[in-house]
């Protein structure tokens, strides 16, 4: 499902001396099935932006079209929107509350007013999608590991069968293996279902490795927008905005300065390894 953000502005505490523009005049088009990385320093407006996409925040001006429909139109069915656009918050495992994993995942679809059988089918399907083992279905979510809990929380959103999935820093606080597990899962799902995915992240490596397109927010506006290779070629600009490029970019730049003839658009470690081996000739 496509998303069009049309001249969106959001101001907090409008009309007071404290008024702050969290988002100022942002226009973006995200076509159906795109895997987008959204980056920006703390307070750059990314969280405010994604909260508009499923109607949790109302714009001060401008609007958002999801699947061609204006979601802030007064006749628009907000309930439909919430099942269409799934939002996984930061630390979603803090929102687990049921006595066992399966019941927790059923909560969302149950609230959509579906039949019990359909609810359970969806919950089962979602838990399978996130790769949770069957024997973990009926344990308390609080007995699971951090990575497992987070997968259960994501399953809770998937069970609503959203067509757009937005994840706000899904890997924060996870160990490296947990991070890869979650990202691998999201990327796999994206390939399989063609879902539109927006991944908010503070890890430049994560976005470099997985997404098709990166949108960089700074001071409430879109600062850069393009493929990972394009965006990460603006190292200085990213640093000024409190961000960075993936380590692979910095390594390649250092090596270029040292006189190695290497391509300038490398963003991933595997690519860097290939490029360096290429310079040394494969016969080493």
Partner 1 sequence: MNIIDLKKVVYEYFRRDDEGNVTGITTAVDHVDLSVKPGDFIAILGHNGSGKSTLAKHLNAILYPSEGTVWVDGMDTTEEDKLMQIRQTTGMVFQNPDNQIIAQIVEEDVGFGPENLGVPTKKIWERVEESLKAVGMYEFRKKSPNRLSGGQKQRVSIAGVLAMHPKCIVLDEPTAMLDPAGRREVIRAARALNDVEKITVILITHYMEEVIYADHVYVMDHGSVKMEGSPREVFSRVDELSALHLTVPQVTLLADRLKKSGLPIKSGILTRDELTAELVRIKSGR
Chain residues binding partner 1 by CB under 8 A are 40-43, 90, 99, 143, 145-147, 172-179, 202, 204-205, 239, 242-244, 246-248, 250-251, 254-255, 258-260, 269-270, 272-273, 276-277, 280, 284
For residue 61, report the phi and psi dihedrals to the nearest 5 degrees.
-150, 165
CB of 220 to partner 1, least distance (A): 14
CB of 163 to partner 1, least distance (A): 29
- Smallest CA-to-CA distance from 243 within 213, 200, 190, 191 is with 200
Closest to partner 1 by CB, 187 vs 276, is 276
Closest to partner 1 by CB, 77 vs 270, is 270
DSSP character string of 76-136: S-HHHHHHHEEEE-SSGGGG--SSSHHHHHHHHHHHTT--HHHHHHHHHHHHHHTT--GGG
Closest to partner 1 by CB, 87 vs 241, is 241
Stated as kind and residue range, the H or E segment containing 213 is strand 213-218
DSSP 139: S
CB of 260 to partner 1, least distance (A): 7
Residue 282, classified by CB atoms within 10 Å of its CB into exposed (0-12), middle (13-18) or buried (19+), is exposed
Enumerate residues 6+ apart whose C-beta is below 8 A from 270: none
CB of 241 to partner 1, least distance (A): 8
CB of 251 to partner 1, least distance (A): 5
Closest to partner 1 by CB, 40 vs 86, is 40
Closest to partner 1 by CB, 113 vs 283, is 283
């Amino acid at each position: 499902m496509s998303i069009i953000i049309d001249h969106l502005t959001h101001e907090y505490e409008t009309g007071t001396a404290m008024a702050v523009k969290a988002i100022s005049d942002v226009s973006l088009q995200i076509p159906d099935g795109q895997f987008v990385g959204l980056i920006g320093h703390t307070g750059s407006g990314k969280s405010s932006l994604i909260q508009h996409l499923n109607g949790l925040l109302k714009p001060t001006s401008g609007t958002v079209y999801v699947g061609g429909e204006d979601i802030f139109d007064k006749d628009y069915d907000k309930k439909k929107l919430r099942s269409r656009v799934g939002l996984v918050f930061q630390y979603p495992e803090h929102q687990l509350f049921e006595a066992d994993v399966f019941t927790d995942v059923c909560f969302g679809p149950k609230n959509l007013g579906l039949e019990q059988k359909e609810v359970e089918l969806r919950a089962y399907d979602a838990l399978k999608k996130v790769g949770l083992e069957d024997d973990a279905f009926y344990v308390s979510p609080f007995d699971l590991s951090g990575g497992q809990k987070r997968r259960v929380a994501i399953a809770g959103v998937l069970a609503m069968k959203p067509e757009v999935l937005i994840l706000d820093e899904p890997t924060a606080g996870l160990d490296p293996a947990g991070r890869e597990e979650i990202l691998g899962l999201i990327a796999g799902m994206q390939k399989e279902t063609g879902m539109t995915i927006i991944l908010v992240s503070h890890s430049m490596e994560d976005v470099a490795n997985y997404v098709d397109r990166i949108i960089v927010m700074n001071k409430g506006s879109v600062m850069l927008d393009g493929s990972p290779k394009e965006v990460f070629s603006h190292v200085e600009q990213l640093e000024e905005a409190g961000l960075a490029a993936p380590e692979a970019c910095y390594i390649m730049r250092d090596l270029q300065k040292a006189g190695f003839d290497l391509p300038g658009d490398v963003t991933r470690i595997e690519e860097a390894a290939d490029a360096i081996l290429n310079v040394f000739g494969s016969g080493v």
